[in-house]
Amino acid sequence: MSDAPAETIVRAENIERVYGSGENKVYALRGVSFDVPSGMFVALKGRSGSGKTTLINCIGGLDKPTSGRVILFGHPINDYSEAQMTELRRHKIGFVFQSFSLVPTFTAFENVELSLRLAGAPAKERSRRAQECLDLVGVGKWARHMPFELSGGQQQRVAIARALANSPRLILADEPTGELDSHTARQVLGLLRDLAHQQDVAILMATHDPLSLEYADQVFELKDGKLDAVHARQHVVH
């Protein structure tokens, strides 16, 4: 294993996000700063309304900070055009959502293959990589099943496989365990932790799940739009 320092994939510098103006101003984020290196599973934990989803959206380029800078892969993205952000998301960033967001009329395999198709991968590569990602997250034998034929945990694994398809350096996950029971949530959190470490991917997850303290390498706790506390993993879960 290399002793070289891990590359900083995400750097948030004094991020503020304000909605409205004058007396109607609402501060969703108030000067949030942190780094996420490669190979690290980091959780943004907080109650509903704490700002964690807004922060995820700013980092993924789905929203823009009112002030401060978001730096991805060493490059500030605040002034990127939508076309530049689309290209970045297509090739370097994977997304995982609470509601899975699978195409209901596609098989598990086709859902994963679709992201490769959108990125312009050749047909042979799409087929190989889609199956490889499904195998990696443990649902390879369900590749030809439709989403309604899969459990919630299996659907979330397919969603994670889709996020991995284009070999991103960063995965942004918004409440990925929000619709799962605690046993399945543990499986998904363990999978995300292992993927970060084994695939050298930076994973940033917004969550209110208390289990995140057991699985994430680091937990940034948000309260009223501010970084309130930082926790290291409480103990190793096998």
| pTM for the structure as a whole | 0.90
- pLDDT over 90, % of the chain: 79
Question: Sheet of 67-72: strands edge to edge?
Answer: 26-37, 8-19, 67-72, 75-76
Please say whether the dihedral angle defined by the alpha carbons of residues 144, 150, 154 and 158, taken in this order, is positive or negative.
positive
Angstrom distance (rounded) from CA 170 to CA 12 = 14
The pLDDT value recorded for residue 6 is 81
pLDDT tens track for 152-187? 999 999 999 999 999 999 999 999 998 899 999 999
Asked if residue 191 has pLDDT above 70, the reply is yes
The pLDDT value recorded for residue 232 is 75
The pLDDT value recorded for residue 189 is 95
Asked if residue 235 has pLDDT above 70, the reply is no
pLDDT tens track for 98-131? 888 999 999 999 999 999 998 889 999 999 999 9
Angstrom distance (rounded) from CA 97 to CA 178 = 9
* Structural domains of the chain, with CATH: 8-232 (3.40.50.300)
Question: Which one has a higher pLDDT value, 18 or 24?
Answer: 18
Over range 203-225, report the average pLDDT.
93
> Residue 84's CB: how many other CB atoms inside 10 A?
13
The pLDDT value recorded for residue 4 is 61
Please state, rounded to an integer, the average pLDDT across all residues of the chain: 91
The pLDDT value recorded for residue 238 is 42
Tell me, letter by letter, the H, E, C secondary structure of 179-204.
CCCHHHHHHHHHHHHHHHHHHCCEEE
- Assign 3 a pLDDT band (cuts: 50, 70, 90): low
| 79-83, 98-102, 189-193, 214-218: the lowest-pLDDT one | 98-102
